[in-house]
Structure 1
């Protein structure tokens, strides 16, 4: 089972579905909160309005001068039917004094208690008739007024239905909008996903299309940069393998030819080689082995230079150049060095920098004529930067070769007859860039080659 794969039998919900579900859920939650708030607000207001209406009618009735002056037997109870309420006048014993038999309000002990204690009127909901009942004292009796709650509940039911329909429509619209937004907004993610799957499946490193300038567009752009870096690394790797194979073929072919010649000469009934021929073949074998050893060493060094930096420590370039000079002088022959060094310090890898400086010195010695002079100069040239320059008095670098002198395995026509692997200056370039610097090539004042390495740092020691 692949790591990160969903468990078998469980269907993974797509990101588009999750975005749609999230949008619909958020709208549903908001609509539900607003609807509940509106419903309960209207609920309280309607019921409070019923209570206020009943209280107001009861108070207006008991306080009306016209009703107070009307004999009890002539009390116009039927007038209350016009206002949608039921009215009865009851004494403390529960005897109905005045009422409309067709619209009799419910009467209980709570209403009778008001006749005995008129200072405490009552209001209640009667469950049997589903009405609101108000009782107030009136001339030693109790006036009972009730109003049906059916119209109020119908209004609340209609309101609930409207809120439900509006809320449902809002959720549907939110789901549709969420789907549209997810489809549009996640299109770059889908392209990125397809591109990733294509790269994993086929190794095709073509960039993907980038639209807009939002976060997803920047993500796609970064992915394209990553693809470009991977493609460049693959190209460099293939080029390195091809160039290394080409360079290794020559010494290996020569070694094989010489060895086969020596082995053939040792067989009976074959012409024997003279001592001079054997000595020449032995010298050629040693030279080819030395060239092969140097080439393999340079390849290993270049591969190490291409690896990420592991540790950095304070480096005194003055000491690094002096150590490289000590090694170069031992194999320089008649070539002399003219040195002008100034203090320079940086963070880096001493071994890497020393190998780069030694490659510069060996390259200058290789092209210098017998008795020639190699000039080595280290001095600050700009705030935060210093230049290490190595100049020789050799034939110099042709203009056509200048853009390629730091390429791997590149060798000019003049250099092909000289020993070397074509990797020395490539190692110098890699070391300089590894430390945040750069390399340059040109002509020296003596007409030879001038190779410069720019390095960041400071003229003061780094603590």
Structure 2
């Protein structure tokens, strides 16, 4: 296995182990990592800042002493040789007078000479105004400064850095300890904050588990206005929509069962009557009655077929994908008119159509228009006319109006004619399932349109279907 592959495998395994940790644990780990990174950065910055400030202060102090000594009589070699380092206020000071030829004189002789090098000789030769550096002597670090002390010589002062190095060492030890404590506290605080912050998520989880286990769709109490509160609001809205969908399905099943019961009961009665008449020794049914019963059974089968087809249509999602393909609405209405004329008897349809194109489902649109036409034909008197008119409202929407000359719709029934299984009192003896106009509304909503009902100028009902789109010539 190559090294990159091994690295990728290790990273993938680490990621999988991290994903197995709880969300609270992950937040705590991330908080600890962030805190650790910040502690490292702050510790490094603090250490560097303190070290630079201490060294700057030490350099400034040594340079002040060196300049003060260079301006005094101490630069005389005879006097310098007889002065101890304590004369400069510290026992860890070493002092020397360096000449441009690299010779030097120091107090108490060679043994007390400071670290000397090219930098100090350069100052004595006048190539540099002063020098500052760190050097080791006898296994001890020294801070060495050199300033010009007359022509061709430089005064060198060196101070041991043992005490300063101890300060740096203590600082380097204490900062990581304090940082480690900070990382632990940050991890604990991260877990505590995560527990408090994720409490609404726990409520959402409990609610989802409750819905899955019991079907109880009570909303969750919401506190605050933050993102989690918005998530809870959205979850409550989802619960409300789910409850409404369940109630809608329940009503659909109940209403469908009620509508199916009547034709099934009638069909069973007729079939039992036919079966009883066919038994040996049973009185024979007159041919006219037998044909009437068979016609009744055929009509009930047709009614059941229509009802089942309508139920299948309504069982689809209420809001499937709207955009399918370009549809010429004029062609859709003409096909629906052909089908409606074949079963409308002597009712006449008078269309007024305009070119119109929209994106949608041609089959569903044809079904919706056909339902409007069938409804108008059912309520039209013998030899009546049904007006079918396309009327553009603006450049982006058109209304398809279907008006008949029948008795019209009562005012109290107008708001409900597009409801599922709704049938006005005057229509309960008429054939139909009460689903045709509900399908019209469903198709309209799926295509971004709307439906409404009113009274037509012809005196009957006016049913309108509004759809989006554009003129075919636009």
TM-score range, shorter chain: 0.7 to 0.9
Correspondence for 1:369: 381
Correspondence for 2:345: 333
1:65 pairs, out of 73, 82, 93, with: 73
Q: Distance in 2 between matches of 1:141 and 1:364?
A: 122
Contact map agreement 2:94 2:114 (CA 8 A) in 1: no
Question: CA 1:230–1:188 in 2, change beyond 3 Å: closer, same or farther?
Answer: same
Contact map agreement 2:322 2:446 (CA 8 A) in 1: no
Q: Distance in 2 between matches of 1:190 and 1:31?
A: 32
Question: CA 1:417–1:320 in 2, change beyond 3 Å: closer, same or farther?
Answer: same
Question: CA 1:149–1:267 in 2, change beyond 3 Å: closer, same or farther?
Answer: same
Deviation at 1:16, TM superposition (A): 2.7
Correspondence for 2:46: 38
Correspondence for 1:453: 465
Deviation at 1:456, TM superposition (A): 1.4
2:427 aligned with 1:415, yes or no? yes
Question: CA 1:11–1:327 in 2, change beyond 3 Å: closer, same or farther?
Answer: closer
Contact map agreement 1:24 1:171 (CA 8 A) in 2: yes
Q: Distance in 1 between matches of 2:202 and 2:186?
A: 22
Correspondence for 2:135: 124
Question: CA 1:30–1:278 in 2, change beyond 3 Å: closer, same or farther?
Answer: same
Question: CA 1:146–1:107 in 2, change beyond 3 Å: closer, same or farther?
Answer: closer
- 1:161-310 equivalences under 5 Å are 163-164=175-176, 167=179, 170-171=182-183, 174-175=186-187, 177-179=189-191, 181-304=193-316, 306=318, 308-309=320-321
2:23 pairs, out of 15, 28, 39, with: 15
Q: Distance in 2 between matches of 1:142 and 1:333?
A: 128
Question: CA 1:89–1:217 in 2, change beyond 3 Å: closer, same or farther?
Answer: closer
Contact map agreement 2:75 2:97 (CA 8 A) in 1: no
Question: CA 1:167–1:335 in 2, change beyond 3 Å: closer, same or farther?
Answer: same
Deviations 1:19-55 (A, max 9, x none): 2332333233123212212212332443455466556
> What is the aligned residue count?
450
Report the RMSD for the aligned CA atoms in angstroms. Answer: 4.0
Q: Distance in 2 between matches of 1:88 and 1:51?
A: 15
Q: Distance in 2 between matches of 1:294 and 1:89?
A: 118
TM-score, normalization by structure 1: 0.82
Question: CA 1:149–1:275 in 2, change beyond 3 Å: closer, same or farther?
Answer: same
Question: CA 1:138–1:326 in 2, change beyond 3 Å: closer, same or farther?
Answer: closer
Contact map agreement 1:305 1:430 (CA 8 A) in 2: no
Q: Distance in 2 between matches of 1:306 and 1:126?
A: 91
The residue matched to 1:411 in structure 2 has which SS?
coil
Q: Distance in 2 between matches of 1:351 and 1:118?
A: 104
Deviation at 1:177, TM superposition (A): 5.0
- 1:20-99 equivalences under 5 Å are 20-47=28-55, 49-50=57-58, 53=61, 57=65, 61=69, 64-66=72-74, 68=76, 75-77=82-84, 79-80=86-87, 82-87=89-94, 99=108
Correspondence for 2:455: 443
Contact map agreement 1:373 1:393 (CA 8 A) in 2: yes
Q: Distance in 1 between matches of 2:291 and 2:339?
A: 30
The residue matched to 2:242 in structure 1 has which SS?
helix
TM-score, normalization by structure 2: 0.80
Q: Which deviates the most, 296-305 or 414-423?
A: 296-305
Stretches of structure 1 lacking an aligned partner (at least 5 in a row)? 1-6
Deviation at 1:425, TM superposition (A): 0.4
Correspondence for 1:321: 333
Question: CA 1:305–1:95 in 2, change beyond 3 Å: closer, same or farther?
Answer: closer
Deviation at 1:280, TM superposition (A): 1.8
Contact map agreement 2:134 2:142 (CA 8 A) in 1: no
The residue matched to 1:414 in structure 2 has which SS?
helix
Q: Distance in 2 between matches of 1:134 and 1:306?
A: 89
Contact map agreement 1:106 1:133 (CA 8 A) in 2: no
Deviations 1:371-394 (A, max 9, x none): 222222211134422211112222
